[in-house]
Amino acid sequence: MLETTARRDYLWTQLCDLPYFRALLRAIEARFYEDLPVVAPILDIGSGDGLFARQAFGQKLDLGIDPFAAPTYGSVYRDGYKSISIAEGSAVPTADETFQTVISNSVLEHIPDLNPVIAEAHRVLKPGGYFLFCSPSDYFDRWLLGARIFGDAYRRFFQRIARHVTCDGPQAWTARLDAHGFDVEKCWYYFSPHAVHVFEIGHFLGLPNLITKKLFDRWVLWPSTSNPALRMLHRWLEPIYNESLPDKGACIFVVARKR
Q: How far apart are CA 33 and CA 3, in angstroms?
A: 10
Q: Does a structural domain hold residue 4?
A: no
Domain-embedded: residue 2: no
Q: Confirm if 182 and 256 have CB atoms less than 8 A apart.
A: yes
C-alpha to C-alpha distance for 218 and 210, rounded to whole angstroms: 9
Whether residue 5 lies inside any domain: the answer is no
Q: Please tell me the total count of domains within the chain.
A: 1
Q: How many residues belong to the chain?
A: 259
Q: pLDDT tens, 173-220?
A: 999 999 999 999 999 999 999 999 999 999 999 989 999 999 998 899
The reported pLDDT for the residue numbered 5 is 45
Query: What is the reported pLDDT for 77?
Result: 58
Whether 77 is covered by a domain: the verdict is yes
Tell me, yes or no, whether 1 lies in a domain. no
* CATH number (domain holding residue 202): 3.40.50.150
Inside any domain, residue 185 = yes
Write out the residue range of the structural domain in which residue 84 sits: 10-258
Contact 8, 33 (CB under 8 A): no
Cα angle value 146/114/195 (rounded, 5°):
30
Lowest-pLDDT range of 1-15, 75-89, 152-166: 1-15
**Domain contains 14:** yes
pLDDT the model gives residue 78: 65
Residue 3 is assigned to a structural domain of this protein: no
pLDDT tens-digit readout, 56-110: 998 899 999 999 987 777 665 567 899 999 999 999 999 999 999 999 999 999 9
Q: Are 37 and 1 in contact (CB under 8 A)?
A: yes
Angle at 56 between CA 251 and CA 10, to 5 degrees: 80
- SS3 for 155? helix
pTM comes to 0.94
